[in-house]
Structure 1
Amino acid sequence: MITSPAWKDKKYAVLGLARSGRATVEALLAAGANVLVWDDRAEAREPFAGRCAIGDPLEADLTGYAGVVVSPGVPLNTHPIKPHADSFGVPVIGDIELFAQARANLPPHKVVGITGTNGKSTTTALVHHILKTAGVPTTMGGNIGLPILEQEPLPAGGVYVLELSSYQIDLTYSLDCYIAVLLNVTPDHLDRYDGDFEKYVAAKIRLFEMQEADGLKLIGTSDAASSAAYERFFESAQPVTRQEYPDQPDWPSLQGPHNRENVSAAILTAFWFDIPESSLDQALRTFPGLPHRMQRVAEISGVAYVNDSKGTNTAASAPALAAFDNIHWILGGLAKEPGLGECEAELPHVKAAYTIGKAGPQFATLLEGRVPVEQCETLDRAVASAAAKAEAGDTVLLSPACASFDQYADFEKRGDHFRELVEGLK
């Protein structure tokens, strides 16, 4: 567990007791803080009865509190906790900010922070894998893996690799990354930024603004917004490009043109840490990939079944479409934007489409006359129909280009259901 003596005897409120919230409470308690906790679910509050004050921070007098710690899922632009905390002059923060505060008392280490609309999970896991392969003490956290405060401190010389969503960056004010990475910025989550893309871009760029002067900035140049960020920070930045790598066919979990950007960022990071070329080559070959991101779950009668449930917008799904041919594309859910976006250019790879969820009819209309399309409504029907029509050499690809919340709790549940359905075909 990561704690800080700076929290001792201070008062904090923690709103939301899912995994990161629970880890935050335990770390604060271990440091000797006084904690007020709340979750709308009584069963989530119950383990803290007798150990913490129980109460809704929205109804509390927050005078003298050091912070209100919220889940990244709490929308600061609409949730009443922000103006309530502001009225007492209390910052609304996340567990990443607490980690930043705890760093002064950890063994000497470095932090790599990785953000971007797409590719940040793969890049975070890849950087972690490269460091681990080279024998560098490392762990990953933030928007991936275990909550960072739940993890044990690294020994001296360790590297914390953090995937950071814009929501998490919004909730930290002092995270100084040794290397900060911005892969790309395309429209996403705009409901959290009042529909203003520039506010979303500004949230991402704050990762650089928190760095000390000697911090390295790695910035993608594949889109207008990230390219503009590169120009702004030109003197302290290096460009992350989508250059071709002749050895990419030897990296089974890093296929597709989009992974060139992820690999470029990871290789630049590895160079900065003086990772030997032999270790880097081994890591690229052995990287296992991530669940729900272009994850090959089975091959049945010569047909590949690929789970890309993490493709939750059109920009995220386009690379998966580009990586395969003869695709039976399962798409739909809760659309984040109108149209097919970057998927338009990849339609020649699509042999047939099967739409699901709330956006299914909209996608069917967009695809009609361009590829054979079937409105299936549910994933069960889509998998069954695609499996019946696919031939040896084809790929059945779940890459919805949509959020999952119309039919599933999250993209993981959607991907797990796809895998279960495919297992049932064997």
Structure 2
Amino acid sequence: MITSPAFSGKRYAVLGLARSGMAAAEALLASGAQVTAWDRQEEPRALLEGRADIADPLTLDLTGYDGIVVSPGVPLNTHPIADHAARFGVPVIGDIELFAQARADLPPHRVIGITGTNGKSTTTALTAHILDHAGVPCRMGGNIGLPVLGEEPLVPGDSGTGVYVLELSSYQIDLTRSLSCEAAVLLNVTPDHLDRYDGFEAYAFSKGRLMAMQGSGQFAAYGCQDATTRAMRQAEHARRGDSLAVCLEPGRLAELQPDWPALQGPHNLQNAAAAITLAEVMGITREQWEPAVRTFRGLPHRMEVVCEADGVLFVNDSKATNPASAAPALAAWPAGDNARIHWIVGGLAKEDGLGECEEQLANVAHAYTIGEAGPRFAELLDGRVPVERSELICEAVKQAFAAAGPGDVVLLSPACASFDQFRDFEKRGEHFRSIVGALTGCDVPAGSEPGLTKAAEGPAS
């Protein structure tokens, strides 16, 4: 794990003991800090009994505490911990801020930070894949894989200084004050998780803080495909100049994309452009990144090819939890002479309407609506594409397979959160996989690949 003498003799409270919280508590204890820990569940509390004080920080006088470390899943806009900590002048931080404070005591390294409403997991994994392929020591963490404090510290190797590649949600950025990334990218900003923010501008500001924490000589890249991100890039361009605040250029890679089986669609072209740009800033050459991108396998639940049966392709894009993230999947198989996509859509809606999916309906041969938002999607799509009110994923898959022909795509890209029927989007995607396997006889993987699960608790973007 990552430890630091910077924490020795200091006093912290850790609120929330799931993956990132437990890693923070263990790292602080190993660093010689005094820790008070709390979780609503008894089991994680028991793991720290005898090594940490077990108490809810909301019940304590916090005088003398150096920080309250909270899970990214704790809603600071409604949870009383923010006001309680402020009464005592104690900062509310997260595990990423602890990592930032520990950096001075780590061997020489660089940090890449990746954020955006959509695409950051794929970009993070692809960036780490390219670096690893090139022999550069790297660790992937943050909102993906292991919590960063649970990672073993990088040691410089034959290829030089190691790199920490961090996927950062807005929730994690909110809890971070001093992370200065040598290179960072903001892929896009579209409305999401507005229940945690005082409007869209506040959400966008949260994303932009990743760049605001950088020094003026550090590198920042922007997706520039939406007006908000373009405006944020322009502001940073005024501070840094042409070479240090750039717009990504996906078009330069378009001719290579057909050779990238796990990176189809315009959104993945931008994700690839971001990863390649960040790798190049780290000194990776085209001769190194081009073969690496070809061998990238993609991530579970993100445009994941499950199998092909009777000429029908089954694709699991359960991670598409809003219309902006579902639209690129619908664009990945253009209609041409015939619409090919059998779209399974619905769940717990984050917004009313089809959003950016409106522009891709010509590619949809048939829609199958599911979940709480199913009736609303059926209303929105009625008369525009054929619609089945399937309600359940199992029914939707059966109906879609029966209607699809060779060359068609059965696509789960729900444009909604999963919490009406499933614990999270991973469980929804795994359910889709199992149904496809049972229906087609394909050998379908049962779960997510090790190391690629989310580290942050609660939905984060």
User: Which interval holds the TM-score relative to the shorter structure?
Assistant: over 0.9
Q: How does 1:372-391 map to 2 (within 5 A)?
A: 372-391=386-405
Letter in 2 for 1:201: A
Match of 2:427 among 413, 420, 424: 413
Q: Specify the code of the residue in structure 2 equivalent to 1:34.
A: Q
The residue correspondences of 1:17-416 to structure 2 (distance < 5 A) are 17-156=17-156, 157-194=161-198, 196-234=199-237, 235=241, 236-243=244-251, 245-324=254-333, 325=335, 326-416=340-430
Counterpart contact for 1:222–1:242, Cα < 8 Å: no
Q: Deviations over 1:14-38 (max 9, x none)?
A: 1111111111111111111111111
Range with bigger deviation, 7-16 or 242-251: 242-251
Residues in 2 aligned to 1:215 and 1:397: alpha-carbon distance in whole angstroms: 40
TM normalised by structure 2 equals 0.91
C-alpha separation between the residues in 2 aligned to 1:68 and 1:352?
A: 50
In structure 1, how many angstroms separate the alpha carbons of the residues matched to 2:128 and 2:102? 21
Give the unaligned 5+ runs of structure 2.
442-461
Deviation track 1:95-153 (CA, whole Å, cap 9, x = no partner) reads 00000011001000000000011111111111111111110000110011111000000
Answer with 261-270 or 333-342: which moved more. Answer: 261-270
Q: How far apart in 1 are the matches of 2:223 and 2:81? A: 34
Supply the distance in 1 between the matched residues of 2:283 and 2:100 (Cα, whole angstroms). 25
Cα deviations by residue, 1:238-282 (Å, 9 ceiling, x for unpaired)? 111331520110011111111121121122212212212221111
Q: Secondary structure at the match of 1:288?
A: coil
Spell out, residue by residue over 1:263-319, the C-alpha distance to the aligned partner (whole angstroms, 9 max, x if none). 211222122122122211111100111110000011111111100000000010000
Tell me, yes or no, if the aligned pair for 1:302 and 1:391 is still in contact at 8 Å. Answer: yes
Distance 1:221 1:115 in 2: 13
Q: What's the RMSD between the two structures over aligned residues?
A: 1.0
Residues in 2 aligned to 1:220 and 1:278: alpha-carbon distance in whole angstroms: 24
User: Residue by residue, what CA displacement relative to the aligned partner does 1:369-391 show, whole Å, maximum 9, x if unpaired?
Assistant: 11111111111211122122222
Q: Which has the higher contact order (CA 8 A, sep 6+)?
A: 2
Q: CA deviation at 1:81?
A: 0.7
Q: Which amino acid aligns with 1:108?
A: P
Paired amino acid for 2:225 = S
Counterpart contact for 2:68–2:90, Cα < 8 Å? yes
Asked whether the equivalents of residues 2 and 149 of structure 2 are also in contact (C-alpha less than 8 Å), the reply is yes
Report the 3-state secondary structure (helix = DSSP H, G, I; strand = E; otherwise coil) of the residue aligned with 1:282: helix
Q: CA deviation at 1:345?
A: 0.7
In the TM superposition, residue 44 of structure 1 has moved relative to its aligned partner by: 2.1
CA distance in 2 between counterparts of 1:242 and 1:190 reads 29
SS at match of 1:258: helix
Amino acid at match of 1:144: I
Number of matched pairs: 425
In 1, the alpha carbon distance for the partners of 2:206 and 2:52 equals: 33
Alignment check: 8 A CA contact 1:333 1:359 kept: yes
Larger mean CA deviation between 241-250 and 326-335 belongs to 241-250
- Structure 1: segments with no counterpart, 5+ residues: none
Runs of 4+ in structure 1 over 3 Å off = none
Residue-by-residue CA offset, 1:196-223 (whole Å, 9 max, x unaligned):
1110111011111111121111112100
Residues 71 and 94 of structure 2 are in contact (CA less than 8 Å); yes or no, is this contact kept in structure 1?
yes
SS in structure 1 at match of 2:76: coil
Give the letter aligned to residue 174 of structure 2.
Answer: D
CA deviation digits over 1:383-406, x for unaligned, max 9?
Answer: 122122222211110000001111
Percentage of identical aligned residues: 64
1:90 to partner: Cα distance:
0.6
Q: What is the identity, as a one-letter code, of the residue corresponding to 1:197?
A: F
Q: Offset of 1:84 from its aligned partner?
A: 0.6
Within 2, Cα distance between the matches of 1:135 and 1:269?
Answer: 15
CA distance in 2, matches of 1:424, 1:70: 41
Structure 2 residue matching 1:107: 3-state secondary structure: coil
- Structure 1 letter corresponding to 2:66: A
SS in 2 for 1:406: coil
Please give the alpha-carbon distance, in whole angstroms, between the structure 2 residues aligned to 1:379 and 1:407.
10
Partners of 2:274 and 2:25 lie apart in 1 by 34
